[in-house]
Structure 1
């Protein structure tokens, strides 16, 4: 796979037992999952009929258009199965359920050999629904086990044209696009109209998977009355306890409201030292003179972090 670009993996998990179970219907999938039930309760999203499975904000972005309910796995599956047989009565889904905690043993029977054994799967099961356009800070392989999925993708650089909602008021941790799902020509989102038709749309059948790089925007539609997705998140390039998102948030507190000319100047410094479009900032000097700009793995990560922590403490 080319890192940084989405990739359809057709049929990569078609031999999984859970995919085979799905060929006999939703009841059989539910029975298969309950073999591994740990007894832990999970939070389900319950949507009224009028939202038509599109889980989103409420009116004026206040609150949300669904309710949360804590259920056991058997109760959640029973609700999902009932609603699958009752079109028009609403929808439900369980999202991001770690198999280690809720379905121990599932991952041994349904695995992807090209991923590290340390990458743990999560399960998403529910009715026909739409997960609003968002990004993840991890690389992702999403495997369709039952039903069908449609992914609508935009690259990270589309962020300004997607009209992203609040960072600190989210449905499940990540901010979402307010423009995705709007009617054509909506005057609130003029920049989105320029990219609306540039989306990459990927249709997945049972047994198919999609590799989705971190920070790619994606809307996910489960299009059948009963759907099951298994996904794997991991960071392909972990570098210590701090995250790029943390660095961005801290940068906002010190840069976002400075004068435009100063922000532009700092952008040049960030490009030079962090994003490095012209290569290493000290490439004109011998390696032994690079100091803390030398390889992070040579102890420089700890040195830089110690300096930053000392500055943050004001000492």
Structure 2
């Protein structure tokens, strides 16, 4: 797939047709811009009446809880990134009440004195009743939303390890997307000293001063998707995305879930384990393991036991026939040294 053009699917909620329709489209692992999917939400309708109206609507659900608030100076221009500030970042983190944070966001929008945002707030904890008032017809009911609320900002280019449906409530959003195989051209930062959990691209959004020469290849594959209130973007896991909130007050609700999970174990966990088990072995041995991973895990040539009757596949049979638990038990015994 390296070097291939990025394709964005455009659909309406009616064309997708519900939970199963989204799941079928998601199997292609391509982003989908979904127009108007939440345009009838009360939250979106409140946003159409102005910034004060939508902030007041959100405050109706506030429980008085506290959350982490990101605060930036006017010179930041809303670009949250690494820097010389606390902890090596160009912004400050504060734990304050959600109500205080909303008031500061409103003041920032009014006075243009700085920028701030609240990110990834589970609505069932901070805004109970919001999800029921603004239901998503494309996801199972047990997938709970999170809210992102702030001023104009640029969230650094990163990826998620879950499927993501991002629904715009208020303000316009601009997503700049890069496919997973652009990772080598994005100059990714540390995985354990991050802005907000996920590694970020150091090159995307930076001044082009020649420091990141390979980024030109990624830039040529970037696709920009603009979303208005009521629109949504489906992002498959591992797709890189820079997110710009373009208006003085912006609210986004997103849903993270794994649409193709066979159990509780995550691919990202397997990758971390592979890093300590394989990454620093000799190059020739790493290449040998690559062949085995391809054969047993990625399966470009089909099932590794296709030449044998299904009844003789053992733990390589379908995971939903008890083999998930058998393999997991084996892995746990090996990790314990048994």
Instruction: Tell me, yes or no, whether TM beats 0.5.
Output: yes
Whole-Å Cα distance in 1 between the matches of residues 237 and 328 of structure 2? 24
CA drift of 1:161 comes to 0.8
Aligned partners of 2:164 and 2:254 also within 8 Å: yes
Task: Tell me which stretches of 4 or more aligned residues in structure 1 moved more than 6 Å.
Answer: none
SS at match of 1:181: coil
Are 2:300 and 1:273 aligned? Answer: no
Whole-Å Cα distance in 1 between the matches of residues 303 and 215 of structure 2? 36
CA drift of 1:74 comes to 1.6
Whole-Å Cα distance in 1 between the matches of residues 249 and 143 of structure 2? 26
SS at match of 2:111: coil
Q: Describe the superposition over 1:150-192 as per-residue Cα deviations: whole angstroms up to 9, x where unpaired.
A: 00000111111111111111111110001111223x3321111
Are 2:76 and 1:83 aligned? Answer: no
CA drift of 1:197 comes to 2.7
Structure 1 residue runs without a partner (length 5+): none
Please name the residue that 1:233 is paired with.
256
Whole-Å Cα distance in 1 between the matches of residues 256 and 161 of structure 2? 9
Which of 48, 65, 79 is the equivalent residue of 1:40?
A: 65
Whole-Å Cα distance in 2 between the matches of residues 178 and 167 of structure 1? 12
Whole-Å Cα distance in 2 between the matches of residues 159 and 46 of structure 1? 29
Please name the residue that 1:303 is paired with.
326
Please name the residue that 2:154 is paired with.
130
TM-score, with structure 1 as normaliser: 0.96
Whole-Å Cα distance in 1 between the matches of residues 135 and 228 of structure 2? 18
Q: Describe the superposition over 1:24-47 as per-residue Cα deviations: whole angstroms up to 9, x where unpaired.
A: 111111111111111111111001
Whole-Å Cα distance in 2 between the matches of residues 281 and 207 of structure 1? 45
Please name the residue that 1:242 is paired with.
265
Please name the residue that 1:115 is paired with.
139
Aligned partners of 2:85 and 2:91 also within 8 Å: no
Are 2:163 and 1:139 aligned? Answer: yes
Please name the residue that 2:32 is paired with.
7
Whole-Å Cα distance in 1 between the matches of residues 123 and 329 of structure 2? 37
Whole-Å Cα distance in 2 between the matches of residues 120 and 275 of structure 1? 30
Q: Describe the superposition over 1:273-311 as per-residue Cα deviations: whole angstroms up to 9, x where unpaired.
A: 000000000000011111111111222122212222222
For these two proteins, the number of residue pairs brought into alignment is: 313
